[in-house]
């Protein structure tokens, strides 16, 4: 799948040391004293934070849906309000919000928690919201081969709220539409109406 690369970490310990060293250098370069009491543990804290927020690089998102279940349900299934946190690849600033996934099974369903895990696997990387939205839809389509998939992602971007144009509270909404959702306006409307309830 385009845009989703598998990541292999050759040496976790060596990477940690390198990240800590570079965080310390950044602190120095912005005019701070990395030896100041309040900053002594900051490089290690930042390293641990990066391991958590970039955990998606250690996961192949295509594998997340895992086992599917045979089920002859061919009506709309929606999991909404899946909270995600990601990092903008342009400024390495956080963005966060909610993802909503709807699909029409064609004989196979996924465990509902797997959809939340998919959102996490895709979002815990350097990302853009548009790509997150498309990747979720593409992986759902590839793995489950449903009649249709629709994904809506809402996000608030600190690179837009806290810097640059400084417009706090502004939200970005992206969507990806596959299969029957593309051709069936009533189906799209049903999905969007259920999101508002």
185 part of the active site? no
Spatial separation of the C-alpha atoms in residues 103 and 145, rounded to whole Å: 10
- Catalytic residue among 100, 120, 129, 147, which? 129
- Catalytic residue among 91, 130, 145, 156, which? 91
Q: Is 73 annotated as a binding residue?
A: no
**Cα-flanking dihedrals φ and ψ of residue 163, to 5°?**
-145, 180
91 part of the active site? yes
147 part of the active site? no
73 part of the active site? no
Interhelix angle 42-53/12-29, rounded to 10 degrees, is 120
- Catalytic residue among 14, 35, 89, 142, which? 89
Q: Comparing C-alpha atoms, which of 79, 89, 83, 82 is closest to residue 129?
A: 89
161 part of the active site? no
- Catalytic residue among 20, 130, 156, 159, which? 159
Q: Is 147 annotated as a binding residue?
A: no
How far CA 134 is from CA of 3, 89, 145, 173, in Å, comes to 10, 16, 15, 13
Helix intervals (H) in the chain: 12-29, 42-53, 61-64, 112-123, 129-144, 158-161, 180-183, 185-196
- Catalytic residue among 147, 157, 161, 180, which? 157
Q: Is 91 annotated as a binding residue?
A: yes
In the annotated binding site, the residues are: 88, 91, 159
> Which residues sit in the known binding site for Zn(2+)?
88, 91, 159
Residues known to be catalytic: 88-91, 129, 157, 159
């Amino acid at each position: 799948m385009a845009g989703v690369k598998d990541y292999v970490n050759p040496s976790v310990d060596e990477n940690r040391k390198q990240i800590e060293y570079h965080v310390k250098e950044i602190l120095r370069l912005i005019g701070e004293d990395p030896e100041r009491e309040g900053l002594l543990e900051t490089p290690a804290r930042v390293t641990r934070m990066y391991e958590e927020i970039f955990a998606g690089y250690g996961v192949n998102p295509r594998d997340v849906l895992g086992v599917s279940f045979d089920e002859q349900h061919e009506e709309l299934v929606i999991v909404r309000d899946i909270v995600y946190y990601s990092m903008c690849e342009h400024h390495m600033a956080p963005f966060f919000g909610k993802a909503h996934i709807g699909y029409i099974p064609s004989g196979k369903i996924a465990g509902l928690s797997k959809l939340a895990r998919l959102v996490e696997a895709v979002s815990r990387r350097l990302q853009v919201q548009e790509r997150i939205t498309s990747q979720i839809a593409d992986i759902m389509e590839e793995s489950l081969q449903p009649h249709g998939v629709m994904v809506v992602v809402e996000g608030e971007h600190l690179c837009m709220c806290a810097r640059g144009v400084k417009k706090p509270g502004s939200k970005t909404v992206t969507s990806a539409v596959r299969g029957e959702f593309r051709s069936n306006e009533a189906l799209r409307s049903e999905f969007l109406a259920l999101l508002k309830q």
